[in-house]
């Protein structure tokens, strides 16, 4: 049984999209701006109105409470939301101690005010706060867009290991073709709201 199945997903100027995602699978998603990449992630996270069928481990999304679905199918947008003044208020539980070095962050930053964080620190912390939920699927929308090369490579390596360790699938959107090549896995492309296999070079 696939981890995630999507059939005939449609919204205004979007679709139809069919998609199957297996356990531990890493999918990369490319396409021009405005093609529907972010919208697809939001629909898979059940955040945007749509028609069609979404199933997680054979169970239809319509039978799963919205907040439960969004703990299992987690979207990390390029610009994350911060609704409290201090970082630790955004974490449901403490990250694993080994993660801090791998993310090139200090554990003390949990006690910092959000206003102290750089854009790169916010992006890494937003990813970390999603990972502590141990979701079944991660939907990553340009997760390293604010990071330098060193931190980008560290996050790519961490995520490859994490998905194997926790049987987590990942859909990774990026405009960086070199990054998509490094990540490997099944390559898809969005164009005008339609999903197709990405053409090889």
104 vs 46: CA distance, rounded Å: 32
| Closest of 30, 2, 11 to residue 176, by C-alpha | 30
9 Ramachandran zone, left/alpha/beta (phi>0; psi -120 to 50): beta
Give the rounded percent of residues in the chain with a pLDDT score beyond 70: 99
**3-state secondary structure at position 178:** helix
| pTM, entire model | 0.93
Long-range contacts formed by 161-168: CB under 8 A, 24+ apart: 162/131, 163/24, 163/26, 163/138, 164/24, 166/134, 167/23, 167/24, 167/136, 168/24, 168/134, 168/135, 168/136, 168/137, 168/138
Q: Is the pLDDT of residue 80 over 60?
A: yes
What percentage of the chain exceeds 90 in pLDDT?
A: 86
What's the pLDDT score for residue 199? 59
Name the least confident of 109-113, 120-124, 127-131, 197-201.
Answer: 197-201
Give 198 or 120, the one with higher predicted confidence.
Answer: 120
CB 131 within 8 A of CB 105: no
End-to-end CA distance of the chain: 32
- pLDDT tens for 124-157 read 999 999 999 999 999 999 999 999 999 999 999 9
Q: What is the pLDDT confidence band of residue 79, given thresholds at 50, 70 and 90?
A: confident
pLDDT band for position 201 (50/70/90)? very low
């Amino acid at each position: 049984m696939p981890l995630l199945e999507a059939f005939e997903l449609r919204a205004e100027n979007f679709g139809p999209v069919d998609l199957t995602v297996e356990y531990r699978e890493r999918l990369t998603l490319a396409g021009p701006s405005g093609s529907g990449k972010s919208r697809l992630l939001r629909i898979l996270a059940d955040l945007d109105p749509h028609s069609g069928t979404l199933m997680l481990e054979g169970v239809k999304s319509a039978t799963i409470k919205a907040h439960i679905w969004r703990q299992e199918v987690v979207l990390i947008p390029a610009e994350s939301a911060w609704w409290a003044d201090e970082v630790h208020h955004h974490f449901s539980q403490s990250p694993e101690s080994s993660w801090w070095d791998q993310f090139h962050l200090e554990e003390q930053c949990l006690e910092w005010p959000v206003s102290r964080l750089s854009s790169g620190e916010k992006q890494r912390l937003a990813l970390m706060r999603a990972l502590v939920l141990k979701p079944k699927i991660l939907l990553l929308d340009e997760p390293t867009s604010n990071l330098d090369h060193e931190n980008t490579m560290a996050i790519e390596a961490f995520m490859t290991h994490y998905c194997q360790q926790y049987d987590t699938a990942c859909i990774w959107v990026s405009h960086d073709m070199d990054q998509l090549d490094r990540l490997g896995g099944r390559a898809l492309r969005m164009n005008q709201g339609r999903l197709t296999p990405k053409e090889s070079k």
